[in-house]
Amino acid sequence: MKSRFKRSLAAALVLSMILSLAASPGLAAAAEGVEVYALSYGVTADDTLRISFNAVNRSASDAEPAFVLELSSGVDGEIIETKTLRGQTVDAGGDSLFYTDFDGLYEADEPVARLYTQGEYDDPEGNPVPLDTLDIGVWRDYVSATTVSTANHATTQFNAEQYTFRTYVKPVQDYGEQAWRFFFSNNLDFLGGVDPGTPFRITEAFLADGGADADGSVVAGSSVRVTYDGENARDVAAGERFWSDEAVLDLPEDHWLCFTWTIQPLAPYTMDNANIPIASESYAKSYAIAINDDIDGYASQETSVGFTVVYDENPGWGIMPNLFGVRKPGARRLSFLGDSITQGVGTPKGGDENYWVAKVARGLAEDPATQDIAVYNAALSGSRGFEAAYDGAWLARLKQEDEITLVHGVNDLGWYGRPAADVIESITKMVRSVRRANPSAAITLFTVPAFSFSEEAQDDWREVNQWKIGRAHV
């Protein structure tokens, strides 16, 4: 596969603190007694497509569940190949990784993977239960256009019947006429992506030119409707992960990209008990309108009337896409998974961010030799390595990246007092999980930066860093 790259990117990021390693995701629907999550794809060394997922046995007895994995063309829906996966025991209360390879199908025309139950876990009428869908072609062809992390840090209860959220981000380099798609995971990333949000409805969504100031308004006449499977509205299930349809926008150089949507809790949930994931401490500029009527049209509103600034609150917050994807087939992907240091918390906001991931992205964009590298910042303030090691929605949406940079450790050691052995175990689990799902991915470990550790934590800090530096492979 021509777009793959191994060490060139790591070489472009040479720092004394890194060690290079050779080398839709989330909680899905549950059948009776079993749940699957982290459906993701990767590519083996010989460019074979690999699809993987985790199964969790919720029943009281041991079981050997069977699943059907169907690969089809997203263009016409034609089934390309179907496989049955069975024989891997999932102990009571435990989980197990399933994966299978599809020879030579990574370059298929917009491939889509669909996962179903088979046999024991079918519904009472004996029909297979749909468990998850993965739009491989979309993940392959749409890459992150901004370094702003919009990972789901918390969940929020509404104090109104519905909300319109307006979010502004600055692309690193993707201006002019571009095709966009937006990904959202209805899961709480802060606990590793295994805690689903409650169901909600998207009543409408729009993409627009946010102008030069991101002041709550959009440039007149620039709004483009964002649809979902051809529909203006979409009902989102608990734990669901999904992409929007494509929307095309001509964005002038150095203007803000603006995404606006109106959402409301779905019955039986109301504003009193809904818990929908939000991005807090994000460097996106976000505004909101609380709505207590059934009037549509707030998302298409071009002025700032009624919108309240929420990104300046402590912490700032908003319900926003987890990935602002621009269409770039063949682009190379570099992702960062870490805590507030990687997210950029503490540096000024304003579209010209000074946190280190943003500087890396700008440096890559300015060099003609690395301009085709797309940077995805999935860092989450306050997070710990063991949360990513849960292998839920948070880690899973990075598995299809070309290079994954893991930058955890400060919170594990400094705030939660985890011993070195536990931190090393979490990192090892993350690396092994990514490698099993995507053998061709390059993984880069950053050593844990210096921090105001206690004397005991300093000893653990040195041990963790020596472990990283002293091993080429985990």
DSSP for 390-424?
T-SHHHHTTTTSSEEEEE--HIIIIIS---HHHHH
Q: Does residue 93 have a pLDDT over 60?
A: no
Q: Quick one: pLDDT at residue 17?
A: 34
As a dihedral over the C-alpha atoms of residue 112, residue 93, residue 153, residue 300, rounded to 10 degrees, the angle is 40
Q: Quick one: pLDDT at residue 190?
A: 80
Q: Does residue 61 have a pLDDT over 80?
A: no
Q: Quick one: pLDDT at residue 20?
A: 36
Residue identified by tokens 């991101």 is 214
| pLDDT per residue as tens digits for the range 103-113 | 877 677 789 99
Band of residue 388 on the pLDDT scale cut at 50, 70, 90: confident
Q: Does residue 231 have a pLDDT over 60?
A: yes
Of the candidates 391, 399, 385, 390, which has an alpha carbon nearest to the alpha carbon of residue 445? Answer: 385
Q: Quick one: pLDDT at residue 12?
A: 35
Higher confidence at residue 75 or residue 208?
Answer: 208
Residue identified by tokens 């690395």 is 370
Least confident among 125-134, 209-218, 293-302: 293-302
Q: Does residue 66 have a pLDDT over 50?
A: yes
Q: What is the mean pLDDT of residues 315-324?
A: 83
| pLDDT per residue as tens digits for the range 247-274 | 999 999 999 999 999 999 998 888 778 8
| pLDDT per residue as tens digits for the range 390-400 | 888 888 889 98
Residue identified by tokens 């940077």 is 375
Burial tier of 451 (Cβ tally within 10 Å: 0-12, 13-18, 19+): middle
Higher confidence at residue 243 or residue 190?
Answer: 243
Percentage of residues in the chain having pLDDT higher than 70: 83
Single pTM value for the model: 0.89
